[in-house]
Amino acid sequence: MDEFGAIVLAGGRSSRMGTPKAGLEWHGSTLLRRAVGLVGRTVDVPVVVVRAAGQELPALPACVEIVQDAHEGRGPLAGIAAGLAVLAGRAETAFVTSTDAPLLHPAFVHHVVRALDGEHDVAVPEAHGHRHPLAAAYRTALAPVVGELVAGRRLRTAALLERCRPQRLDDRALLADPAIAALDPELDSLLNLNEPADYEAARARPAPVVSVRCSGALRREGNPLAARAATLAHTAAAVKLVLDEHVLVTLNGEAIAPDPEVPLATGDAVAFLTAGAGR
């Protein structure tokens, strides 16, 4: 078994933000929908979202698995424990992210997961002067260890790293990956939004630059076009296209559903063509 999955932690108290982060608007979508969509590109099993008891979540794709954190108020380690327990036996590795990382790039996820070799249990970035346990890859076999720590109220992620074999990824190691160097040179994948000012500043950034190609009856002048778009809906709007059942969509060469909230990242290539084209 060499499959890997992803865990998105959505159950934080958001005390500094003042409102639940999962439902915060992000270019016509939500922070949680974006996080799920970005990590969802990289997984072999459904994305697992961990929420607090009674927490309402924004709309998510039907394939997403939602589990409840059984230890309310015990922080992210409890959420990691819940997610790993669900994925154990189904995936060997899980990438863990929080819901408030809207600039996470799939290339970053791929690199961190690939960095986890047979000699280590966790691949954790230590970049920008900080350790980032919520942008790390974990062996799902750690589930019992994490559960034991949570039960014993040893809730700091440092306690887990003391119990396992971590692979530490510094700035140089991350940027040695050509894809990260080209698509996320500032390591914005590690940006978290903790306060309203963080959210507003990140929300004001230009949307990712993507390539858009329209084929067949949908062809546009200047094909392919460069556009700034955070979602599939924004890409369609850039070429004055209405997404409906008559439009087929590919993202980086793979067919996807024409869901307007599909998140996009820098370097993505979107193609639109009419249903039935080429048959």
Longest dimension (CA), the chain: 63
Beta bridge partners of 250: 255, 271
Written as six digits, the tokens of 231 are 């979602």
Is the backbone peptide bond immediately before 166 cis, with ω within 30 degrees of 0? no
**Among candidates 169, 190, 154, which has minimal Cα distance to 81?**
154
Map tokens 């036996």 to a residue: 89
Written as six digits, the tokens of 21 are 């982060």
Look over the chain and give the mean of its residue pLDDT values, rounded to a whole number.
91
Across the beta sheet with 247-251, the strand order is: 225-228, 209-214, 269-274, 247-251, 254-256
**pLDDT of 112-141, one tens digit each?**
999 998 889 999 999 988 999 999 999 999
Q: How far is CA 85 from the centre of its chain?
A: 19
Where are the alpha helices (H) located in the chain, listed in sequence order? Answer: 31-40, 76-87, 106-115, 143-151, 157-163, 171-175, 178-183, 196-203, 232-238
CATH number for the region 4-198 comes to 3.90.550.10
Structural class in CATH, domain 209-274: alpha beta
CA contacts within 13 A on the Cβ side of 269? 6
pLDDT of residue 101: 96
pLDDT of residue 221: 65
54's CB contacts (< 8 A; 6+ apart) are none
Domain boundaries, the chain: 4-198, 209-274
Are the CB atoms for 52 and 68 separated by under 8 Å? yes
**pLDDT of 82-116, one tens digit each?**
999 999 989 999 999 999 999 999 999 999 999 99
For the chain, which residues score pLDDT lower than 70? Answer: 1, 13, 72-73, 217-218, 220-222, 275-279
The beta-strand segments (E) located in 152-202 are 166-170
